Amino acid sequence: MVLAAGLGTRLRPLTDDRPKALVEIAGRTMLEITLSRLRDFGIRQVIINVHHLADVLVNYLRQRNNFGMNIEVSREDVLLDTGGGLKKAAYFFAGSNEPFLLHNVDVISTVDFNRIVAHHREHHALATLAVQDRPSPRHLFFDARLQLCGRRINGQSHEEIARSATNLTPLAFSGIHIISPQIFELLTEEGAFSIIEPYLRLAGEGERILGFRADEYYWRDLGKLESIRQAEEDLQSGTFHLSAWPSAGQT
C-alpha cells in the first residue's frame, strides 16, 4: 500500500493544482518513483489511498495504464491519517497470510526491502519498521532487541512509554513498514488515527512491533520544497540512483 492522501501543504504552491504524489523529483513523480521501487521488489498489486485532487491522480494512473501494475484506489472523503487509511483498505489484503509493505509516497530511499522482509519473517513480527539514527522532531524508543517501547515528540516535550525497558534507543521512523495481515484483527481504533497509536498499544500488550536498522541506506523525506531540491542535488551528484522504469503499460 502506498499512502498518498496527504494535502501536501508544505509543498505549496506545487500542490495547488496536483496531489503531493505527483510532485516531481528530477522529472519523475513521487508516485512513479515509489511504484518503480515496489516493482523492482516484485510487487505487482498495489492499493493507493487518495484525497486531495484525487481525480487528478486517478487520471494520471489511467493515462499510464497503471504502469503495468494492478492498482486499486482507496478514496478518502475525509483524511483518515496513516492508521485509518490502512484500516479502510483492509479489504484489499483479505484472504492473504503474507506480510505486505506500507510505504509513504513522500519518502525516497534505497532501503533493501528484501532484508526488511527477511527480518520480519525471522522474528515473527506483527510489524517491522525501518528506522534510522538521525535527527528528527519525533523519535520512537526501542529496547536492545529492537522492540518498540515508546515515543518522544518535539524533543523532550512529550514522551510516552508503552513497554518498560532499560537502555532505550531513540530512532527515527522512515515511513516504510512490513506488516502481517493479522494486524487488521487488532485495529480497534476508529476514524482518523496514526498507525503509531496502535503500534504503541499493541507493543504494550506484548505484540512484536520491531525496528529494522536502516542507517546504511539513503533516505529523505520529500515533504518540503527544500527537501525536493536536496534530493535532486543528491541524485545529480550520484549519492543515490533511481531505477529505470519500463514504458507505460509494459509488464
Question: Would you write out the chain's pLDDT as a tens digit for each of its 251 residues?
Answer: 999 998 878 888 878 888 999 999 988 999 999 999 999 999 999 999 999 899 999 999 999 999 999 999 999 999 999 999 999 999 999 989 999 999 999 999 999 999 999 999 999 999 999 999 999 988 999 999 999 999 987 755 578 898 988 889 999 999 999 999 999 999 999 999 999 999 999 999 999 999 999 999 999 999 889 999 999 999 889 888 877 655 443 33
Tell me, what DSSP letter sits at residue 234? H
- Tell me if 133 is assigned to some domain: yes
**Residue in this structure with the C-alpha cell 476508529, named with its chain if needed:** 190
Q: Kindly report the CATH number assigned to the domain that includes residue 208.
A: 3.90.550.10
Do 12 and 91 lie in one domain? The reply is yes
pTM of the model: 0.92
Q: Which of 79, 106, 133 is the last residue in one of the domains? A: 106
The answer to whether residue 170 is domain-embedded is yes
Distance CA 5, CA 21 (A): 8
Answer yes or no: do 101 and 190 share one domain.
Answer: no
- Inside any domain, residue 27: yes
Looking at the structure of the chain, the number of domains it has is 2
106, 130, 151 - which closes a domain:
106
Q: Residue 137's domain spans which residues?
A: 111-217
Q: What is the Cα–Cα distance from 16 to 72, expressed in whole angstroms?
A: 24
Angle subtended at Cα 149 by Cα 145 and Cα 155, rounded to the nearest 5 degrees = 115
Q: Are strands 45-50 and 70-75 parallel, antiparallel or unpaired?
A: parallel
